[in-house]
Structure 1
Amino acid sequence: MWTRRDFGLGLGALGLGGALPALAQKLRVMKVANTAAVNDPQQCFVTAGQHPRLNFYKPDGVDVEYVNMSSMTQALQSLRAGHADFGPAVPGILLPAMAKDPALDLVSVYKWLPRNANVIVVKPGSAIKSAADLAGKRIGVRSQGDSGIVVTKTMLAELGLKDDRCEYIAIGDGAPAGAAIDNDRVDAMVTFDTAAARIELVGTALRYVPITPKFAQVGSGWICVPRKLLKEERKALVALFRGIAKSTLFSHANLDAGIDLHWAVYPESRPKGRSEAEARKELAFILKDRRNSWMRRPDDPDQRIGASSLAEWKANIDMTAESTKNPKLADELGDPNRLFSNELIDEINAFDKQAVVEMAKGFRLQG
């Protein structure tokens, strides 16, 4: 169990001790356009650091506020209108939107999901054995604004196939999605790893089909901000993403503690109708793959947390051009360097990462 003295030492090890006077300053609350309900503890890679025991944000003058969105498209609209400060950037949705609307001036500044967390799932006895078999099939997606549609188009385009005969059917999450798969309303579902795990938890047996090789090498989650905000509030953004980087490292090193901290910060997310032990077991299953997707691949030449590369954004453009059947997309977007920025990355990474990991290993919220 951590004592008050341990906590003070932890702050010092993380370089936070001298920043405590900042708590008296007015906080800049950064609003996130959130497409996964804040009640979902998979958000602990952001929320863990909001707990006073970690305090990864407030000493640097920032905090996070969730604004829930129904889709990626709504999140982009919210960012464009200034109703949110940062939000998810899924290239297959973001790039066509930016090409169509030059006023949507967003820049991806932090890669929060450096590994590909998309999956294809089918019933165990399905004839679908590879991504190529999705052509012409009924594809389950969470909603009609879901990224699963773009992901399917991207993979089929990589294989030189068309999706013009595919039918995309919104089947929701969890039990409704499981029922749609069990009752053969869809032939397959394309979704995120965490969503597929939730379907398995309700009793639906699934078989995972490999995603396509080229697509598998691309990260699946970036965070974008309005370019104007990047220019005007650079210091606040560095503080925000440094807090997220610390929270990610902490939750990866001690997932149980990350979940505890999320539940403590958002008590409405605590399990209802079942024991905490059962809920924790479920969450461990849901996050079994996602937890590692928070971290960069060991063979990634750039190990800085949050960093992007020009090569991957060119690949994103190429794949999106194929999936949207728009060979002019690259020309419409212009210089690909404007789509992302690493200018905050070195400052974001300017903390003792091993100290965070060691803090996590010895952390207990209670008892």
Structure 2
Amino acid sequence: MLTRRDLGLGLGAWALATGLPALAQGVRVMKLANTAAVNDPQQCFVTAGQHPRLNFYKPAGVDPEYVNMSSMTQALQSLRAGHVDFGPAVPGILLPAMAKDPSLDLVSVYKWLPGNANTVVVKPGSPIKSVADLVGKRIGVRSQGDAGIVVTKTMLAELGLKDDTCEYIAIGDGAPAGAAIDNDRVDAMVAFDTATARIELVGTRLRYVPLTPRFARLGSGWLCVPRKLLKDERKSLVALFQGMAKSTIFSNANLDAAIDLHWAVYPESKPKGRSEEEARKELAFILKDRKNSWMRRPDDPDQRMGASSLAEWNSNIEMAAESSKNPKLGKELGDPNRLFTNDLIDEINNFDKQAVIRMAREFKL
């Protein structure tokens, strides 16, 4: 079974055999703050392209490397300290942090999750029917630094409600989270779709509560970089995110192949103690909604991979101001155009998307 080291060593020979220059040296490793905490196949929208059969990164001189983080807060701290090169930008956490600490000079450069992948779940018989019913309830989140807290605050603020009487309880992932819901330790859980799908897989029955209308229209995942890195390493960033865009399109078009490629690159993430067929069935369930959230909505006027808009960032500021109870947030942040950039987007999208889709549909590992 291949490991990342095997792939790195094998790539030089593969490059010589195909007439391409060996890339063992001169590759800029771009470190990613990974708050999922595991290199599991939900990351295949990035990792599939690392396999030599696709090789979406190294020919352009870059390669992503995961650095696991316990929370969004830790990711921001690592970005500030220069321990990682890029990381997740959750506006409800990022914007108040930037307003409080101007030295946290980050720019969101790529929207990796244009669909809203947040979920609110309860037991099937729960009296909670809407987000408004979360007021005063015990709400489960993955950890105390998790985005689920900010998501709850944001949606309640949209409804003109406060979360002052809510209690946020860290219940982890998978079976522990399922047990907390089954045993009524919490009244609801707010988490990403992949996390709640994993809870269903351990046997906990869930009912999904609709997100608030305005929040549901927003994307739920951006990637940000230090402003200095954007200035100094533009070429590497274009290569990185173009590789990610290709990998995302490939994974959406052929999820089974993307999972195989992820397992080949990160063999330690392959499930133990059950058959590959069972593992694949579980992953198909976990990613059933996520794979579509990787892509732009059909009615989105801007279909470029990774693109943002000023309108959505103004909405992000407004909702972050409401959830953080800071009406001066927008003024403290200044010009909203400094928070994001589409400056790299045309170059990132300068490839044949249909060719990647054809490659995915015909691909066999």
**Does the pair score TM above 0.5?**
yes
2:41 is equivalent to residue 41 of structure 1 = yes
Aligned-partner Cα distance in 2 for 1:126–1:217: 26
**Cα separation, partners in 2 of 1:73 and 1:253, compared to 1, 3 Å:** same
Residue 42 of structure 1, CA deviation:
0.3
Matched residue SS, 1:23 = coil
Q: CA shift at 1:36, angstroms?
A: 1.1
Letter matched to residue 162 of structure 2: K
Please give the TM-score of this superposition, normalised by the length of structure 2.
Answer: 0.94
Q: Return the offset for 1:40.
A: 1.1
The answer as to whether partners of 1:19 and 1:59 remain within 8 angstroms in 2 is no
1:32: which partner in 2? 32
Displacement after TM superposition at 1:25 (Å): 5.1
The equivalent of 2:243 in structure 1 is: 243
1:27-51 C-alpha deviation (Å, 9 max, x unpaired)? 0000001111343110000000000
Shift of 1:271: 1.2
CA contact (8 A) 1:113 1:293 kept: yes
Mapped partners of 1:24, 1:44: distance in 2: 23
Q: SS at 2:29's partner residue?
A: strand
Distance 2:22 2:272 in 1: 37
Residues 1:84 and 2:84 are matched in the alignment: yes
In structure 1, the residue matched to 2:4 is none
Q: Which residue of 1 aligns with 2:208?
A: 208
Q: CA RMSD in A?
A: 1.1
Structure 2 distance, partners of 1:198, 1:271, is 13
**Equivalent residue pairs, number:** 348
Kindly provide the amino acid, as one letter, of the partner of residue 166 in structure 1.
C
In structure 2, how many angstroms separate the alpha carbons of the residues matched to 1:217 and 1:202?
30
Residue 106 of structure 1: how far off its partner (Å): 0.2
For normalisation by structure 1, the TM-score amounts to 0.94
Q: CA deviation at 1:21?
A: 3.0
For the residues of structure 2 that align with 1:272 and 1:22, how far apart are their CA atoms?
A: 35
Q: Deviations over 1:184-220 (max 9, x none)?
A: 1100000000000000000000000000000000000
Structure 2 contact 37–70 (Cα < 8 Å) conserved: no
1:73-117 CA distance string (max 9 Å, x none):
000000000000000000000000000000000000000000100
What SS is found at the alignment partner of 1:21?
coil
Task: Say whether the 8 Å CA contact 2:263–2:270 is kept in structure 1.
Answer: yes
Correspondence for 2:294: 294
Matches of 1:208 and 1:27, distance apart in 2: 44
Pairs within 5 Å for 1:308-319: 308-319=308-319
Q: Partner letter of residue 109 of structure 1?
A: V
Note if contact 2:39-2:66 (Cα within 8 Å) is conserved in structure 1. no
Question: 1:336 and 2:336 equivalent?
Answer: yes
Unaligned runs of 5+ in 1: 1-17
What is the match of residue 182 of structure 1?
Answer: 182
1:19 and 1:358 map into 2 onto residues whose CA distance is 24
Aligned match of 2:359: 359
**Counterpart mapping for 1:62-73 below 5 A:** 62-73=62-73
Asked if structure 1 preserves the Cα contact closer than 8 Å seen for 2:153 and 2:323, the reply is yes
CA deviations on 1:239-258 (whole Å, 9 max, x unpaired) are 00000000000000000000
Conserved 8 A contact 1:123-1:207: yes
Mean CA deviation greater in 31-40 or 111-120: 31-40
Q: Distance in 1 between matches of 2:35 and 2:207?
A: 26
